Amino acid sequence: MGSGKEKKEKKALHLGPNKVKRKKQNLKKTKINSKSNENAKTKTKSKIKNSENSMVSFPTAAEQLKYFHEQYQSANRVQLSSLELESFTETCMLELNPDQAQSSSPLADHMKVAFGPSWKGSLCEKELDGKIDPGHPSLLVISLSALRSLDLLRELRPLTSECRAAKLFSKHMKVEEQASSLKNRVNIASGTPSRIKKLIDMEVLGLSRLAVIVLDMKADAKGYSLLTLPQVRDEFWDLYRNYFHQRVLEGALRICLYGEIPANIKRKKSIEDE
């Protein structure tokens, strides 16, 4: 006859068939729920990642404005005042028509539309007269690098056969040569932020005719663009604050973000909240 202690141990170890079955079912449910949660998290992360990587090829004026505001405030560590925001509206941005991108010279076609009926006089005429000062372009294209500037000048060739575009970058180009070329009529100029600012500071590149600045958004091999590559970004905002910002607020100058920009922030937040 065994002791009471042994009986208690046997009783504690014994589980009825129903209890065993329930325990297995509970374990199975826990595993399924755990797997479901993991799958849901993975899907959410995937959605967020896809949203972060999604790009807009032809952003609307509103999308351009939002992205530009974000980059301006982030890079300059400032908050635009309500007065500035009221002045800095969608009309400050130049919206492009995707239908104009089908030709071999899409940027030239976009600019013809942007300048309207007067595009020939603003972008193609070569004669200097009493109303046109030398070295004062109507269109300025700002890029990440010299090579990219040249790519965009190729797209503008239909507009520059009579009046040559000014190349405003430092690679293989002496500043003295550029200053000399700016003594002629210039309708279109393309270059990098640091060299453009230097030529403005030297008072050989003028802004009195400037109506549109095109900011090239094409990313380099590492994924950086004009507004995200640290050194170039800082040079651009230095140029922008000193020479363009006030003219944009006054309505004398429009900005065009040419190329892909990230999808808007609101869309990202809505996916994260799902």
Query: Please, what are the domains in the chain?
Result: 67-94+106-116+151-262 (3.40.50)
**Which bin fits 70, alpha (ψ -120 to 50), beta or left (φ > 0)?**
alpha
Helix (H, G, I), strand (E, B) or coil at 38: helix
- Residue 92: the pLDDT is 96
- Could you tell me the maximum CA-CA distance found in the chain, to the nearest angstrom? 125
pLDDT tens track for 157-215: 999 999 999 999 998 889 999 999 999 999 999 999 999 999 999 999 999 999 999 99
Segment 36-45 shows an average pLDDT of 53
Q: Give the whole-angstrom CA distance, residue 186 versus residue 169.
A: 16
Distance of CA 268 to the CA centre of its chain: 16
Q: Give the whole-angstrom CA distance, residue 37 versus residue 96.
A: 43
What global pTM score does this model have?
Answer: 0.77
Segment 54-63 shows an average pLDDT of 91
Contact criterion met (CB below 8 Å) for 217 and 189: no
